[in-house]
A = this chain, B = another copy of it.
Amino acid sequence: MLPTNKKKIVNDPVYGFINISYPLAFDIIEHPYFQRLRHIKQLGLTYLVYPGANHTRFQHALGAMYLIELAIDVLRAKGHHISTEEAEATSAAILLHDIGHGPFSHSLEHSLVQVDHEVIGKSIMRDLNRQLDGRLEMAMQIFDGIYPKKFLHQLVSSQLDVDRLDYLRRDSFFTGVTEGTVGSDRIIKMLNVVDDNLVVDVKGIYSIENFIIARRLMYWQVYLHKTVVSAEKLLIQLIKRARELSTQGQQPLCPSPLSYFLSNAVTKSNLSDTDSASHIISQFLSIDDADIMVAAKQWQVHPDKVLSTLAKMITSRKLFKVELRNNEFSEQEEEQQRDLFIKMHPELKKYSHYFVFTGSVSNKAYQLSEESISILHNNGSLVDITSASEMINAQTLSKEITKYFLCYTK
C-alpha cells in the first residue's frame, strides 16, 4: 500500500496532476538515485538561449510515467490484456529510462564518462534492483525488450515511445516554442497493438506526421540551435582541458567525486566488473549539474590560461562565435579564424584548437531507424508511415541531415 494519500499526487505544469499509482513507482521516486535527477537539467545548457528551459530529468521521467499509464489505459480499453504487475513494471521501466544521465545530460555524454548513458543506467538499475530486493526484475526485462509482451517495451523505447512524446511536449512548453507542441494525447488515443507490435490507428496519421515535423522543428530551433551547440562545445572543451591537466598530474580543484571522473576513464569493461562498477556508480551518482558549474567558477582563477579562459567564458556566458551551415568549412576558413585568434592571443597559440574548431551536428540521435511506425488501416492492413503518408517523403526522412559548424573566439 502507498504510505499516505498526500504523497501520491504531483503537480506538473504540463499535464496538471500526475498520480503515483504504484508502490514500486513510489519507492523508486523516493530513492536518492532518482531524487538526483532533480539536479540534472533536461536540456543541459539550452537555458542559456531559452531561459525557461530549466526543467529537469526528474520532471521528464514523471511526465513519461504519466503518459505510459494513459497509454496502458487506452490499450486495455481496446481489449489488450495488461496485468497490474505488468503495468507497474512498465511504469518502473519508464521512470528509470534516463537514470544513467550525468551532469548536463547529452552535452557531456562521452566527455565526462566514456560510455553511453544507457550503459551506466543499466548498472544503476542492477544496483537499485538489489536494494529493492529484486522488485525491478520485470521492469528490467521490459526495458531490455526481453519480456514477452514486446509492445510494453515499445512504449518505453521505440520511435513512438512516451519518452519522445513527453520530451517534445515538455521541451516545447518550457522553451516557449509553442509551435513545437505534439498532440501526445491524440497519438496515445490512437495507439493499438497488432501481432504484439505497437501501431497507430489510421485516424492518427496526421498527428504522426505532425509529430515528425514538430520533432524537426525542435531540433533546429532548440536542440541544435547554433548558440546551444556553441555552449555545449564550450563545456566539452572545458572538461577536456580539465581532464588533460589531470592526466598531466595538474588536476584543478573541484568537488571530489567530479575529480574522480577527471582522472579516470570509465569504460564498459570497468562497468562489467561488479566491484569496480559499484565504485564508479557511487561516484557517478554523486555528481550533477551543480558540480560542473561550481568547478567552472573555481577554474576562472586557475593558472592554466586555457582552462581559466574557457571557465570565464562559460561562467559569464561569453560563448564561442559560431557559424552553422549545410556545407563543410574548408581548412582555409578555419585557418583564417585560427590566425586571428593567435594574433589576439599569442600566448595560447599552442592551444588554439580549444578556441577555434569545426565539427558537425546531425539529427541522427532522433533519426528514423529501420523500425518505422506502422499505421493500422480500417481494413486491418498495416502500412508503413512512409507509404501511408502523402506528405512525408520516405527518402527525405531516412536521410540524415548534417550541419557543419565553425566555432571561434575573438
User: Residues on A close to B: CB < 8 A?
Assistant: 5-6, 9-14, 16-17, 30, 32, 35, 38-39, 47-48, 50-52, 54-56, 58-59, 62, 78, 173-183, 185-186, 189, 201, 203, 206-207, 209-211, 213-214, 216-217, 220-221, 255-256, 286, 288-291, 293-294, 297-298, 315-317, 326, 390-391, 393, 396, 401
Contacts and interface: CB of A to CB of B under 8 A. Distances in A.
A316 B221 CA distance: 36
A292 B232 CA distance: 24
A183 B178 CA distance: 7
A298 B256 contact: yes
Nearest to A175: B11
Consensus secondary structure, chain A interface: helix
A207 B179 contact: yes
A294 B298 contact: no
Nearest to A216: B391
B173 A13 contact: yes
A317 B35 contact: yes
A281 to B, nearest CB: 16
Contact of A11 (B48, B52, B209, B390): B52
B297 A286 contact: yes
A385 to B, nearest CB: 15
A289 B201 CA distance: 35
B78 A5 contact: yes
Given A12-B176, A209-B213, A393-B396, 18 more contacts: A10-B51, A13-B52, A13-B174, A13-B175, A14-B52, A16-B176, A16-B185, A30-B317, A38-B317, A54-B54, A54-B55, A177-B183, A179-B186, A180-B210, A206-B216, A255-B255, A286-B297, A289-B290
A189 B51 CA distance: 18
B48 A38 contact: yes
Contacts of A10: 51
A180 to B, nearest CB: 8
A17 B189 contact: yes
A313 to B, nearest CB: 11
A216 B286 CA distance: 38
Contacts of A211: 179
Contacts of A35: 316-317
Nearest to A315: B32
Given A52-B59, A179-B186, A390 B326 contact: yes
Nearest to A207: B179
A69 to B, nearest CB: 12
A209 B217 contact: yes
A294 B181 contact: no
Among A11, A177, A289, chain B packs the most CB atoms within 10 A around the CB of A11
Contacts of A56: 51, 54
Contacts of A291: 290, 294, 297
9 contacts: A6-B203, A11-B177, A12-B51, A12-B176, A32-B315, A54-B56, A181-B181, A209-B213, A210-B217
A302 to B, nearest CB: 12
Nearest to A287: B297
A255 B214 contact: no
Which 6 pairs between the two chains have the least Cβ-Cβ distance?
A179-B183, A290-B290, A11-B176, A54-B54, A13-B176, A13-B52
Contacts of A396: 391, 393
B47 A51 contact: no
A298 B287 CA distance: 10
Contacts of A13: 52, 173-176
Nearest to A12: B176
Nearest to A7: B227
Contact of A255 (B183, B206, B297): B297
Nearest to A50: B11
Contacts of A5: 78, 201
